[in-house]
């Protein structure tokens, strides 16, 4: 049998290990999505406003689950290994309230913006207002690309998370563009092979995000240390 050090350096072993981590991360993420999935499967009625409210409530755990997935993959990027079960559920517990709050706010904003965009489509004034609404929608997505990774890495206030997310979105253009490209690529895969990819993409997606922003987070850590 190969020594542990040799196993760690074995490419085939590393591929199997990373695949295991990605799959298990996906499993844990979708455990938190079960309420929303069951509701959409058995109770969904798009014409009933009450069902929209229930859908909003049952999707809230997806925010904390996303933060926990980023926490797992962030540790994997930093340390090249991770105790995935322990890391995921510890992050879920620690970051649940903050993640749920930001996810809820983002869902509400996205719903309002999309509804307004659709409503103004048939009105002349929409030609002037809709570009602004689209800009706000994109801004919401940009900020969200940083919010949950930040929550997974740092113990900071909601105000600090929001300020850092906006700062990163509009000053770290290279990182932001890479994250947008990754998001578009992921969306492309989900669109063309949804039934397979939706169950396997969360782990690799979160890993790629944390890999892209790893240097930026090291810079933020240094910035925090210099202020203490």
pLDDT tens profile 111-150: 899 888 888 888 888 888 999 999 999 899 899 999 999 9
Top-confidence range, 49-53, 63-67, 128-132: 63-67
- Which tens digit of pLDDT belongs to each residue from 8-23? 567 788 888 999 999 9
End-to-end CA distance of the chain: 48
Task: For the chain, give the mean pLDDT.
Answer: 87
User: Which stretches of the chain are DSSP H helices?
Assistant: 4-9, 11-31, 34-42, 49-59, 62-79, 84-119, 126-153, 158-171, 173-192, 194-197, 202-212, 214-226
pLDDT of residue 98: 96
Q: Looking at the predicted structure, is the pLDDT value of residue 190 above 80?
A: yes
- pLDDT above 60 (res 3): no
């Amino acid at each position: 049998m190969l020594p542990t050090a040799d196993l760690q350096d074995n490419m085939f072993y590393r591929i199997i290990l990373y695949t295991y981590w990605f799959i298990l991360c996906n499993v844990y993420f979708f455990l938190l999505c079960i309420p929303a999935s069951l509701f959409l499967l058995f109770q969904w009625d798009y014409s009933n406003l009450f069902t929209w409210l229930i859908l909003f409530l049952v999707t809230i755990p997806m925010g904390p689950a996303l933060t926990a997935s980023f926490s797992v993959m962030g540790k994997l990027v930093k340390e090249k290994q991770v105790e995935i079960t322990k890391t995921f559920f510890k992050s879920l517990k620690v970051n649940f309230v903050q993640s749920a709050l930001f996810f809820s706010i983002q869902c509400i904003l996205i719903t309002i913006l999309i509804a307004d965009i659709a409503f103004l489509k048939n009105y002349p004034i929409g030609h002037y207002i809709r570009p602004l609404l689209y800009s706000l929608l994109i801004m919401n997505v940009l900020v969200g690309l940083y919010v949950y990774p930040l929550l997974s890495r740092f113990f900071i206030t909601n105000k600090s998370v929001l300020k850092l997310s906006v700062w990163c979105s509009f000053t770290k253009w290279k990182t932001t563009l890479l994250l947008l490209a990754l998001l578009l690529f992921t969306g492309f895969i989900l669109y063309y092979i949804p039934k397979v990819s939706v169950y396997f993409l969360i782990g690799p997606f979160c890993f790629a995000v944390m890999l892209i922003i790893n240097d930026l987070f090291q810079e933020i850590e240094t910035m925090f240390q210099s202020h203490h």
